[in-house]
Structure 1
C-alpha cells in the first residue's frame, strides 16, 4: 500500500502499525515537515511532492498499490493562514492530482485524512452526518473542498473510499510546533510556559489510536464512509498543564502571550465516535494522561 505524508506525525505512527500485520508499505513524502528517521525499518520511502504528477505517477505505476492512504497536507494553522495559496494548492489541488492518478490504476481502496476543522462551531459533539460543515479558517476550508473531490472520485469509480475526520492528535514525533510540543519544549528549560487562551477544549487523541483507527477502517473498507476519529472526550490546555503539574510534581506557571491568542476561537471541538465504533468496532485505548506520560519519557523530563 502507499501512504502519502508517511514521514509526518500521523503518517509515521501509521507506518509502524501497518507493518505489524505484514503489509508491504511504501511511503511518499516531500520531507518538508516529515522526518525520514521517524519511519520504521521495512518502509520504503519515495521522496516526492504530491503535486509532481510525473513523480507520483511513476511511483504508483512501479508499486501498483491496492490501497492509498492520503495523509499529505499543510495543516499547521499559522502556516496555512500565512500561506493561503500554498494551502489550497497542496491540500486541494494536490489531492486532486493524487485522485487522478488513482483512477484506472490497481487501487481498490482509498482513505483520505480530513480534519475536525471542517465542522461549524457547536456546543456539543460533532456528528458526521448532522453537524454542519462551516470551517473557521483556510485549513478547514481546504479540507472541505478536498472532501468534495474525494466524494466525486468514489461516485465516478466505485472504489471503496473512506473520509476520516481526525481530531487533535497527540504523541511522539510531532512535526509542527503545536501547543503540546511547545509545552514540552518549554518544560525542558523552565517551569514557565508562554501560552495563549488555555480555556478552549479539544478532543486529544493519541497517534497510536489514530493509526489503529485507520487500520480498522482499511480492514472494513466498502462503499463511501465518513468517520470521526477522536475519543469523545474534551479537555483544555489548562487541564493539560494541571495534569503535567501532577505527573512531574513541578510548580508550572502559565504566562499569557498575546501573540499566541487567536483572533477568533472555537471554545469546544469534540468528536461523536458512535459511527466508527459501529462500523469497525474500533475504540480508543489511550487516555490523555497516558499520552502525556509517554511524552514525558520521550522528552526526557
Structure 2
C-alpha cells in the first residue's frame, strides 16, 4: 500500500516524499516534470511522468500501486503570473483537481490531503489569520485554490472521502542541500539569483500599509511543512478526526525588507536592494495562527529565520 504524491518532484513535494519515506508510508510520485526536477526523486521511489489531467492513467497508476491516499501538491502556484494567465491557473488547479478526484473515484481511493494556499484569504483585516477568517482571494491563483477546496469538500459529501486542506503560507529553506526552490517568482531564489549575477535584489512595492512599507509575510520551513503532511496523512489513514482546513503558519510576520537584511547578514553578502513597483496580486500583510495544526498535526516552528535563510542558501544550485 502506498501514498500517491502529485507534484512530488517539485521543491515542496520532494521534501514531502522524503518525510513519507522516512515514516514508512511508501510514496509514489506523479509529476509531469513541467517544473519538477527528476533528480529530486530518489531512485527507489517510483516516479510516473503524468499530468493530473490524465484521468485514466492516474486511475490505473493508483490501482497498480495499491494507493490508499493522495497528497495533492501539483498545480500552478504563481499568484502574480495568474493575473496574466487566469485560464491556465484554473485549468491546472481546478480542472486538474476535478480530474484527480474522478481518478480517485475510479480507483476507489478515499483519502486526500490537499496543498492549498494562504492566497485564499486575500488581504485579511485580522492581524492574525485563523481558519475562520473570511476567504477573499485577490488573484486567479487564490481563487483557483479556493474552488479546488470546494470541489474536494463537495466530493467528500458525494463519495464519502476523508480529506483535509493545508493552507500554506510562505515556504522557504531546505531540508537537504540538493533540494532547492527553483521558482522564478519566489522571494528567496530571486534574491540568490540576483546576488549570483552581481545584481541588486529587488523589493516589489515600498508603499504598503506596513511598518517599513514592504509586504509582510509568514515564513515557514519546508521540512516542517513536510512533517505536517505526514501527520495529516496518518490521521486520515487511522480514521481520526481532522479539520477541513488547517493554516500552516508561524504566527510571526517578517517584511520583505527584513528578509533582505537577514540574507545579507547570514550570507555575508552586503547589498542595497533595488526598489520597484508592486506586483499584481500581492497582499500587503498575511500572517497566520497555526494553533489548530499544532493541536492535530504536531505543527511547530523547528527552524529560526536565520536557519531558513542559511539552509536555502546552502542548497544547490547555490551551494555547488
Q: Work out the CA distance in 2 between the residues paired with 1:18 and 1:264.
A: 33
Deviation at 1:104, TM superposition (A): 5.4
- Residue matched to 1:81: 83
* Structure 2 unaligned blocks of 5 or more: 175-179, 207-213
Match of 2:26 among 24, 27, 51: 24
Q: Work out the CA distance in 2 between the residues paired with 1:63 and 1:90.
A: 24
- Residue matched to 2:271: 252
- Residue matched to 2:249: 230
Matched residues, number: 298
Q: Work out the CA distance in 1 between the residues paired with 2:145 and 2:168.
A: 11
2:190 pairs with 1:182: yes
Q: Work out the CA distance in 1 between the residues paired with 2:14 and 2:230.
A: 13
The Cα offsets for residues 1-44 of structure 1, whole Å up to 9 and x where unpaired, read as 10001111210110111111222111000011111111123211
Is 2:55–2:102's contact at 8 Å kept on the other side of the alignment? Answer: no
- Residue matched to 1:300: 319
- Residue matched to 1:266: 283
Judging changes above 3 Å, is the alpha-carbon distance between structure 1 residues 37 and 54 closer, same or farther for their aligned structure 2 residues?
same
The Cα offsets for residues 53-80 of structure 1, whole Å up to 9 and x where unpaired, read as 2221221221120011111100122332
Q: Work out the CA distance in 2 between the residues paired with 1:15 and 1:83.
A: 29
What is the TM-score when the length of structure 2 is the normalising length?
0.88
- Residue matched to 2:8: 6
Q: Work out the CA distance in 2 between the residues paired with 1:146 and 1:249.
A: 42
- Residue matched to 2:66: 64
Q: Work out the CA distance in 1 between the residues paired with 2:217 and 2:281.
A: 15
Match of 1:209 among 219, 224, 232: 224
Is 1:26–1:45's contact at 8 Å kept on the other side of the alignment? Answer: yes
SS of the equivalent of 1:205 reads: strand
- Residue matched to 1:35: 37
Q: Work out the CA distance in 1 between the residues paired with 2:88 and 2:280.
A: 22
Deviation at 1:210, TM superposition (A): 0.7
Judging changes above 3 Å, is the alpha-carbon distance between structure 1 residues 92 and 266 closer, same or farther for their aligned structure 2 residues?
same
Deviation at 1:223, TM superposition (A): 4.8
SS of the equivalent of 1:276 reads: helix
The Cα offsets for residues 234-253 of structure 1, whole Å up to 9 and x where unpaired, read as 10111111112222333211
Deviation at 1:293, TM superposition (A): 0.8
RMSD, aligned CA: 1.8
Deviation at 1:295, TM superposition (A): 2.0
